[in-house]
Structure 1
Amino acid sequence: MKLLDIVYSYSATNNSLRCSLCRVRSFIGSNGIIVLLTELNELNDGLSVTNAIENIIDSLINQGYVVPPAIFIEHYEKTDPKNDTFHKVILTPHTHWKKLSRKEVLNLINGNDVELENRSLKNNRIFDQANKIRYRHDPFIDSRNKESNNIIKRRIEIQENKIPKDSINNLIQSGASEQELQRLLKKDLSLFGEAYGKPDDEYICFSEYPLANGFIDFVVFTGRSRMDIIIIEIKGADFNLVNSNHYAAFNYKINEAATQIQNRLGLIYRELNAFRKSAHNHRIQAENGVKLYNAFLGPYSKLQVDPNKDVNIRSVIIGGRTINDLEESYKRQDYESRTTPPIRIESWDTWLRRLKRL
């Protein structure tokens, strides 16, 4: 017969204010009082039943929920009830566990399969009871972790100065020249962080960045551990990405940009160590507030990258308009796979889809 079925809140240690949760069921059987201690998995925000077993048992006895002598059984639920694990907890002379079979547990509690098949997290009463306790401990327990004030402030600054997606789209639709697009994009470098920053919001963007024997239109520093460096050349929206003749080749402006990038990348890879050191030096200066090359920092202004590790260099050309999206996507992918180092080709139409802003 079942005597008790509750969600129990216990402390991690005898003098700790941090609380944890488990399900406690007690039964009277032929062997006396049997107590089933069930781990609540994702509803348990503190120590597991295993790691706090002595405290759980002591507090249940001290608070009068269980009157000894009693047999305590640690229980972990699995997706399939037949795979659940049960261990009898023996406290003296030292704590150890003895594995029990499902059948042995059922015999001890004089129960049937229904009692053990009912998943705790699918039991509405247990689920609601656990959440009430969790929210009593912390009203914001399931909320996103609060970011630092500096990160929130930076998010607000970026949001307030964002160029709407429609403004960019209108300029592209009008067939804007390279110079017109340059002027607009330089006003909001978060556009490139939004498109290429990974992890999200961890980026530093530059414009007119010195690269080998010249300058690159835009550059994004991002990534974790190994820094990703994305170099971006743009062309106007006043031509079709692919020519309409029977050759169906990329417009000559795209080929010119690709040749320029390949030449500069060749120089970089010949002196890759020097380039890596220079890039990290620029990163550190930007993180410290130096506005070199129009440096624009994302919400997480300190990149979690290792200056001693190799950098990943990626290159992108954005230009022209899409006429046949499917056919052009095959052509762009094929081009990227054949170039060394790889160069990604984007039309303004495909690039615009990367933006998450309204």
Structure 2
Amino acid sequence: MTFFKTFFSKKKLVSKCHDVSTCDPQIPDVAPVYDIDFIHTCVNSPFSRNVICRVRLKTRGEISYVFLTDIGDKNTGASVTNSVERIIRSLESEKKVPVGSVFIEHYDELWKKPSFDVVTLDERDSPSWKSQSENNIREWVGDEVEELLLPTADDPLMMRKIERARRTSYPDANHPPVWAESCRASKDRVKIFVNALSALINLNPDERTIQTFMKADLSFLGSVYGVKSEEFIAFSEFPVPNGRVDFAVFTGRSRLQVFLIEVKGANFNFANENSYKNINAKANEALQQLRSRIGEIERDVKKFKADVHSIRQKCEDGESIFGSTLGADMPLQVDPNKDIIIRGVVIAGRTVNDLEESRLRNDYEASSNHRVNIETWDTFIRRWKPRH
């Protein structure tokens, strides 16, 4: 920490332009240039594991750019996207970055090129994102963008720092007791959690509130979609070709079943108010997005099959990947040589007229070549309760 205090005492680095889309990116000939690269750990919530990410501070003139790099399955907590406000505020409170810095969310994606998004927080600390091209980043930090394009996983020194951070947060991070809990204890815990979810849904929360709540304990998702209540591996922010899905569940006997789940808020009605012939635009957006991603998977299903079985094996061996939560009955009794079954799930909105909306959901499901089930939050909760 002394290093950072000394560094900032040399010059108060305050960005004069908070909207980088209107900033002049030209770097003065005599501009001071500072670069710092470190691993940062912060608490996301009392119910979740610590977040670990890579932080790169690049100061050009009076503007400081802070790149928040998601480290994928080496992160013990939520992704940068779903903890970005906590990361930013912790960096500021610990005086690790200058006041007024421009924060840029950065991903080393598994199936696509790296992405860059400028993140801004409003007065309530709610984040918003604005995608940036590689050329924009190059204008702001010059040739340093080349270093940002190199995957963190290919940097041995940084990977050693990440492992130290993992061990500091969780001494047994590589082999956590992820499925030592008894079936009975797990069932009791899930019952309590789903009752709390039901109470939350009655408040008509938005998408982000629901996602944060669900990520605190993924057991109930596994209980709903597992072939048996304790035969599952559940994930949050699971990577797929062309992006990520909010949640995923692995389950099955003999053939692995992969459920890809997208959720929207409960602050709107599932069907349009003036007609029960069309679903709400937010629900339709999630449906089309999920169909597109499953389509991308099916174009190279052999690669996806190999990837998910590799992830499954790592989880069963005790490694924490993508916020993984395992049921009490492990390992999954699946054959990696057999075809996998891919199913999509969209959970969005509230039910008003159950009969009419059931017909509407069935029509939408029947119109798709992909196996995508559509639920409202009301039907999702009802699905769970009869099984326990």
1:153 equivalent in alignment to 2:194? no
Larger Rg: 1
User: For residues 1-23 of structure 1, what are the alpha-carbon distances to aligned partners after superposition, in whole Å with 9 as ceiling and x for unaligned?
Assistant: xxxxxxxxxxxxxxxxxxxxxxx
Q: One-letter code of the match for 1:299? A: A
Match of 2:307 in 1: 278
* 1:157 positional shift: 5.3
The corresponding residue for 2:214 is: 185
1:229 aligns with 2:258: yes
Aligned 8 A contact 2:226 2:232 in 1: yes
Aligned partner of 2:354 in structure 1 is 325
2:259 maps to a residue whose letter is: I
The whole-number CA distance in structure 1 between the counterparts of 2:183 and 2:276 is 47
The answer to whether the 8 Å contact 2:255/2:339 transfers is: yes
In structure 2, the partner of 1:244 is 273
| Distance across 2 between alignment mates of 1:243 and 1:329 | 14
Does the 8 A contact of 2:276 with 2:357 survive in 1? Answer: no
Alpha-carbon spacing, 1:151–1:209, altered in 2? closer, same or farther (3 Å)? closer
1:258 Cα deviation after fit: 1.2
The 3 A distance-change label for structure 1 pair 246 and 333 is closer
**Which residue of 2 is the match for residue 206 of structure 1?**
235
| 1:314 and 2:343 are equivalent in the alignment | yes
Distance 2:323 2:179 in 1: 20
Contact persistence 1:241–1:251 (CA under 8 A): yes
CA RMSD of superposed structures (Å):
1.9
Question: Match for 2:199 among 146, 166, 170?
Answer: 170
* Contact in 1 for aligned 2:224/2:384 (Cα 8 Å): yes
Rounded to whole Å, the distance in 1 between the matches of 2:382 and 2:225 is 12
Query: Which 4+ residue blocks in structure 1 deviate beyond 4 angstroms?
Result: none
CA distance in 1, matches of 2:232, 2:203: 30
Letter in 2 for 1:155: C
Which amino acid is 1:331 matched to?
L
The alignment status of 1:261 with 2:290, answered yes or no, reads yes
1:263 shift after superposition: 1.4
- Asked if structure 1 preserves the Cα contact closer than 8 Å seen for 2:230 and 2:329, the reply is yes
Unaligned 5+ residue runs, structure 1? 1-149
Name the CA shift for 1:151/1:206 in 2 (closer, same or farther; >3 Å).
Answer: closer
Mapped partners of 2:259, 2:379: distance in 1: 17
Q: For CA contacts below 8 A with separation 6 or more, give which structure has more relative contact order.
A: 2
Question: Is the partner of 1:293 in helix, strand or coil?
Answer: coil
How many angstroms does 1:351 deviate by?
0.2
Q: Which residue of 2 aligns with 1:300?
A: 329
How many matched pairs? 209
Contact 1:161–1:188 at 8 Å: present in 2 too? no
Which whole-Å CA distance do the structure 2 matches of 1:328 and 1:160 have between them? 32
1:336 is aligned to 2:354: no
Cα distance in 2, alignment partners of residues 282 and 164 from structure 1: 26
> Are residues 199 and 157 of structure 1, via their aligned partners in 2, closer, same or farther at CA, if it must alter by over 3 Å?
closer
Q: Percent identity?
A: 43
Contact preservation (8 Å) 1:231, 1:316: yes
Residue-by-residue CA offset, 1:224-277 (whole Å, 9 max, x unaligned): 111110100000000000001136310001111111111111110010000000
CA distance in structure 2 between the aligned counterparts of 1:229 and 1:209, rounded to whole angstroms: 11
The code of the aligned residue for 2:209 comes to E
1:286–1:295 Cα contact (<8 Å) kept? yes
TM-score by length of 2: 0.51
For 1:349, the equivalent position in structure 2 comes to 378
